[in-house]
Structure 1
Amino acid sequence: MPAHTPVPEHRFIARSADGDRTVLVSSPLETTDPQRFMVEAETSRYLLGPWVLPAAELAAPGERAWHARPYVPALPLPIALAVNGGPLPERTVRALAVAMAENLAVMHGQNLTHAGLCPAAVLIAADGPRLTCFGAVRAATQDGVARRQVAGLDPGSLPPEQATGGQPRPLGDVYALGATLAYAATGYTMPEGAELPPALRPVVERCLSRDPTRRPQLADIIDELTGGAQAGAPAGFTAPTRADALLGPGWLPARLVAAIVHQSASVLAAEVRLPQRSQPHASSGPPVGAPPSPGSAHHRTH
């Protein structure tokens, strides 16, 4: 069975009191600096690329920290492995690898690092993955402080140079990508080499090098996993990307497709009762735009 991986934030599926909007709400862990959490959320609003789920709404000044993103029916990667009954097929892992590498390359082109990539940060949707938990490493603790035992951070996905307190850098995202792919393929972020599928083993092992200078560039990862095939103009994402060719029908196991459809139906069917005017808004649970009412629908998602 897949190993447990920490989630670096509290996450809920929530619906506005009028039933008009369904969103994914995130709030910081109790051990996370709320101010740094909000700084990272604000930065994520400007992320580009098709496989990222940036913040769309943020808490107002003076409110407890939270941000909301558009809801996409999806399963966190650890849940996907649990639903599948074990590691994902090689085809699925390869598609995830290319999609995530493409979007990390776009982030790095914006002079940003993800600094939070881990299995729990990847949501599996029917049309491809979504990257979340942007900046979780920076929000958890400041540079210069060892992060090995910080709550919410997955030690298996944390680059060694960041675990000791180093500043997050692009090659750290490459390490985290390798750990996340290893998890998808084996259920563990640091598997034995023989456990990895032969076609994925070379690139994953290079990503997991403790020496950042030995890790591959994202463009090389994409080339290796797609055979160097070109597809349109990835920079603007106005044409198909390399990942699009891998995310066609059948890229996800049938069990995951069924689970995503079930989740979507459950969220849509959740009853939302409009609050009475004389009743105050409830204070429990992360707010979405405003504090949730007693009739708001909330679903915890891990």
Structure 2
Amino acid sequence: MPASGAGHRAGSRQIGPYTVVTRLDDRSTAPGAVVPEHRFVARSPDGDRTVLLSTPVAGVDGQRFMAEADTSRYLLGPWVLPATELAPPGDRPWHARPYVPALPLPTALAVYGGPLPERTVRALGVALAESLAVLHGQRLSHAGLCPAAVLLAADGPRLTCYGAVRAAAPEGTPRHGVPGLDAGSLPPEQAAGGQPRPLGDVYALGATLAYAATGYTAPERDELPLVLRSLVPRCLARDPAHRPQLADIVEELASHVVSSPAGSGSAATRAEALLGPGWLPARVIAALAHQSAAVLSAEVELSAPAQARTDPAVAVPRPSH
């Protein structure tokens, strides 16, 4: 079982102009995880860029998937990972983002061997809440937040899988059992077909934090660490009006952290103050390093035949018999 979370080699498979290096989502390290989109680490034709490349899961409308990816290009914030390149019209749906060594949240729990430490969960919650606040300020809803949509990198989390709910079904249609949607993170009003709204993201955030802290999106209250025992049940309220505001979530999770005052010359936020060295457990950091090394090794292996074709002095080793 690979500890890197990078998945298994996918040979020389092509998606658009990119050559797949490996698969990011490895089900062997995250059994039962619902992945809203297929994610791969891939290499550009010139070998200069490594990207995180996504394609829709079976049953997802490709046109809607691409529309949501296009919208994500305009998202702001340090902890979001929007699309930077889209498949051309008429091509198989895909979009690409810059690659950063990262583990999907379910894989991180598998690597760590259980629920993540309280410090990690606090930092994760504050970063995600701050990111969602920026999205909501742009009059957008994420509408696809779930454990698998969150990637953990050494310098902080990355929010991905934008619009998974909208891409999976038209507005007004029930979304129970739709491929790629995590039922445990889906707000009840959206599961019934309601339009995605900001307070639906608050529900999904509560479920995601519960998962990080317990391994379940809807644990018993006593299973939650003290810092989440009041917060998570309020986030998971069936009535959106009873859910907390994102600013209140940040305050509860980072009440001991003081962000830099305006005009101080520093743009530090509560999340940045929490995401210092040690925010991730050592096992997860080691897995990130392993993933980075594995991707680099695969890139070298992929580039060797191409280099040999253009440089006669480079010999490609032949397999021994």
Shorter-chain TM-score: what band? 0.7 to 0.9
Q: How does 1:22-37 map to 2 (within 5 A)?
A: 22-37=50-65
State how far apart, in whole Å, the 1-side matches of 2:70 and 2:219 are.
Answer: 35
Normalising by structure 2, report the TM-score: 0.82
The whole-number CA distance in structure 2 between the counterparts of 1:171 and 1:57 is 29
Q: 2:143 maps to which residue?
A: 115
Task: Decide which of 153, 156, 163 is 2:184's aligned counterpart.
Answer: 156
Q: Which residue does 1:71 correspond to in 2?
A: 99
- What's the % identity of the aligned pairs? 72
Letter in 2 for 1:240: A
1:216 matched to which residue of 2? Answer: 244
- Cα gap change, 1:132 to 1:238, in 2 (>3 Å): farther
2:126 aligns to what?
A: 98
Provide the TM-score with structure 1 as the length reference: 0.87
Indicate if the aligned counterparts of 1:2 and 1:188 stay in contact, CA closer than 8 A: no
Instruction: Determine if contact 2:257/2:273 at 8 Å carries over to the other structure.
Output: no
CA drift of 1:10 comes to 0.9
Are the counterparts in 1 of residues 205 and 235 from structure 2 also a CA contact under 8 Å? yes
Displacement of 1:195 in angstroms is 0.4
Which residue does the alignment assign to 1:8? 36
**CA shift digits 1:207-261 (9 cap, x unpaired):** 0111100000000110111117541379xx9601101111111111100000001
Match among 286, 302, 306 for residue 272 of structure 1: 302
Q: Which has the higher contact order (CA 8 A, sep 6+)?
A: 1
Partner of 1:170: 198
Q: Does structure 2 retain, via aligned residues, the 8 Å contact 1:3–1:187?
A: no
Residue equivalent to 2:221: 193
Opposite residue 51 of structure 2, the aligned amino acid is V
- Greater CA radius of gyration, 1 or 2? 2
Quote the offset at 1:275 in angstroms.
7.1
Match of 2:78 among 41, 47, 50: 50
8 Å contact kept, 1:17–1:272: no
Letter in 2 for 1:165: G
- 1:182-261 matches, cutoff 5 A: 182-227=210-255, 229-232=257-260, 239-261=267-289
Secondary structure of 2:110's partner? helix
Residue 139 of structure 2 is aligned to residue 129 of structure 1: no
One-letter amino acid of the structure 2 residue matched with residue 273 of structure 1: S
What is the CA deviation profile of residues 254-295 of structure 1, one whole-angstrom value per residue up to 9, with x for unaligned ones? 00000001101111121223777xx9xxxxxxxxxxxxxxxx
Task: Give 2:116's aligned amino acid.
Answer: L
Q: 1:101 to 1:269 in 2, by over 3 A?
A: same
Instruction: Give ranges in structure 1 of 5+ residues lacking alignment.
Output: 280-302
Task: Count residues in correspondence.
Answer: 276
Unaligned runs of 5+ in 2: 1-28, 310-321
How far off its partner does 1:54 sit?
0.2
